[in-house]
Structure 1
Amino acid sequence: MVVHLLVSLRKKILTLYKNNLPVKSWPVAVGAPNSSTPTGVYRIKNKIINPGGSPYGILGSRWMGLTIPGGNYGIHGTNNPASIGLEVSKGCIRMHNKDIEELFPQVPLWSRVIITKD
């Protein structure tokens, strides 16, 4: 099964695709105007449970690192659920912890992540 993710920066939605069919979408927070999330096609390069040692830290309960050059970008949980749906991160894609915990086991390492302005 081929898995990929599509992130719409304008809609602030992340969609999981399996075999090119949309399976489920979740709301996300994206980069603030002065630290926007880079658009392009990337891959999941690592996956960490409880990054920072605690599910209650700034990165939440899960981290999936992205192959975006020039920085440490990822899809991760948050300890600030009110930020979801906003442009507030330093370029990362934030999700509610319950949502990334649902998504995390479904995304193999090296899965494609397509980030669009749309």
Structure 2
Amino acid sequence: MRILLFLLFIIYACIGTCLAQPEIHINIPAYSLELIESDSGEVLKQYNIAVGTPYEQTPVGTFHIFHKEKDPTWIPGDNFTDHSPVPPGPDNPLGTRWMEFKKNYGIHGTNKGWDINYPVSGGCIRMQDADASKLFELVDIGTPVYICYETMMLIEKSDGLYLKVYPDIYNRQTNSPNRIFELFHNYRDKYQSPSQPHILKTEFDTAYEVKIAVPKTTNNTAATRP
């Protein structure tokens, strides 16, 4: 009987492991794709990516992988004068892997290594071809894809709370002092509130970090108590 119960436990444990499906999380301004374990939230892999231009933006929302293809053929879209299909090979801008999450939008490789970390695609997510090949093996049909546009985030470090700001590449006016205080709301019990709003840079090409709050101590907690 004990052996039977042990075997049943092993079977259920294996089923639970198999059902734990990873998720793809993409933040457009960060040029970042993360593969996340759905149950624990652990980041399994992180890849740098390229995203859509301001004129052909990468869509935001919740999607899922519904088509995967090795060595895809590329068919140029309406904005190209030549619509001749491009077969697999070094001239194919899709690289060697295609993972479609919305009609005509996919996560794929590239035949150019220089375009990662830039808004240069027609709306798709480009990866280094080697990275796309690895991701291809880690996801299945049905894998969720969450795409967001977050230009500001807070990061906890040993000496305080830091604000990380990404360029607003789609000019959505998402970098604002009010947004800082909205983000800080979830940290107000641990950190001393900023005495004044951080003056945001108006022109910058790469992300930057700045410390905006320090951990609360007994003294400053008492000082802020009504």
- TM more than 0.5: yes
Deviations for 1:56-95, whole angstroms, at most 9, x for unmatched residues?
A: 211001000013xxx5100000011111100000000000
Q: Higher Cα Rg: structure 1 or 2? A: 2
Deviations for 1:10-69, whole angstroms, at most 9, x for unmatched residues?
A: 1000000123321110000000000000100000010000111424211001000013xx
Q: Secondary structure of the equivalent of 1:23?
A: strand
For structure 2, the 5+ residue unaligned runs are 1-19, 74-86, 151-226
TM-score (norm 1): 0.93
CA RMSD of aligned residues (A): 1.1
Work out whether residues 3 and 108 of structure 1, in 8 Å CA contact, stay in contact via their aligned partners in 2: no
Q: Secondary structure of the equivalent of 2:66?
A: strand
TM-score (norm 2): 0.49
Residue among 71, 88, 94 paired with 1:54: 88
Write the letter of the residue equivalent to 1:35. Answer: E
The structure where helix makes up a greater share of residues is: 2
Instruction: Kindly report structure 1 stretches of 4+ aligned residues shifted beyond 3 Å.
Output: none
Q: Secondary structure of the equivalent of 2:65?
A: strand
Q: Secondary structure of the equivalent of 2:93?
A: coil
Q: Match for residue 106 of structure 1?
A: 138
Q: Aligned partners of 2:124 and 2:112: how far apart in 1?
A: 14
For structure 1, the 5+ residue unaligned runs are none
Q: Secondary structure of the equivalent of 2:132?
A: helix
Percent identity of paired positions between Structure 1 and Structure 2: 35
Work out whether residues 58 and 78 of structure 1, in 8 Å CA contact, stay in contact via their aligned partners in 2: yes
The structure where strand makes up a greater share of residues is: 1
Higher relative contact order (CA 8 A, sep 6+): 1
Q: Match for residue 9 of structure 1?
A: 28
Q: Secondary structure of the equivalent of 2:44?
A: strand
